[in-house]
């Protein structure tokens, strides 16, 4: 059953740019569960959620646990990093688009989004601007959505 959630917050430019700086490894880590991740714009769009209760996609705790177990022997996914198989962004500030929820190592009040376009540019937003996100919550296995975290870790990427 589909469910639409609206979340408000502020766009946050992260100084570390960890996902963007390690984009090759992020793609390698998640290409089995999300084969089109290589088509996404390098990095994430970060939203600091307003209010006291952070957004968690359906079954997020289970997927984070699977991801942590998956990466235990290779020293990755300590934070349960995965692309949510059950939450798809369908609009930002009323503009229809497609993006996915990435669960990485940010605090719980930060929602990370992956998209095939640079979202800040597409929306014309800057650090601290207000953003409203419409998220469609879907059943696991929905066509076009990532799969749950697989049991084996993604391939390591070596840098020259």
14 located within any domain: yes
Enumerate residues 6+ apart whose C-beta is below 8 A from 136. Answer: 2, 3, 4, 87, 88, 89, 90
For residue 115, give its domain range.
3-137
53: domain CATH number is 2.40.30.30
pLDDT tens-digit series, residues 8-48: 999 999 766 788 888 998 899 899 999 999 999 999 999 99
User: Is the predicted pLDDT of residue 66 greater than 70, yes or no?
Assistant: yes
Regarding predicted confidence, which is higher, 83 or 71? 83
User: Sorting pLDDT into bands at 50, 70 and 90, what band is 108?
Assistant: confident
108 located within any domain: yes
Mean pLDDT of 118-133: 96
146 located within any domain: no
What whole-number distance in Å separates Cα of residue 113 and Cα of residue 119?
A: 9
Q: What is the pLDDT of residue 37?
A: 95
How many domains does the chain fold into?
A: 1
> Which residues sit opposite 115 in a β-bridge?
99
66 located within any domain: yes
What whole-number distance in Å separates Cα of residue 4 and Cα of residue 89?
A: 9
73 located within any domain: yes
160 located within any domain: no
159 located within any domain: no
């Amino acid at each position: 059953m589909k469910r639409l959630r609206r979340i408000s917050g502020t766009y946050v430019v992260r100084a570390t740019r960890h996902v963007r700086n390690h984009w090759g490894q992020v793609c390698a880590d998640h290409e089995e569960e999300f084969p089109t991740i290589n088509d996404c714009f390098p990095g994430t769009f970060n939203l600091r959620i307003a209010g006291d209760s952070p957004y968690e996609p359906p079954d997020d705790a289970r997927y984070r646990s699977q991801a942590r177990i998956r990466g235990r022997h290779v020293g990755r996914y300590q934070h349960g990093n995965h692309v949510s198989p059950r939450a798809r962004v369908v609009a930002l500030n009323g503009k229809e688009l497609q993006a996915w929820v990435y669960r990485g190592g940010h605090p719980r009040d930060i929602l990370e989004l992956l998209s095939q376009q640079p979202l800040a540019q597409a929306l014309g937003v800057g650090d601290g601007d207000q953003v409203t996100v419409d998220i469609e919550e879907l059943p696991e296995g929905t066509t076009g959505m990532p799969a749950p975290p697989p049991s084996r870790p993604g391939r390591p990427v070596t840098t020259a």
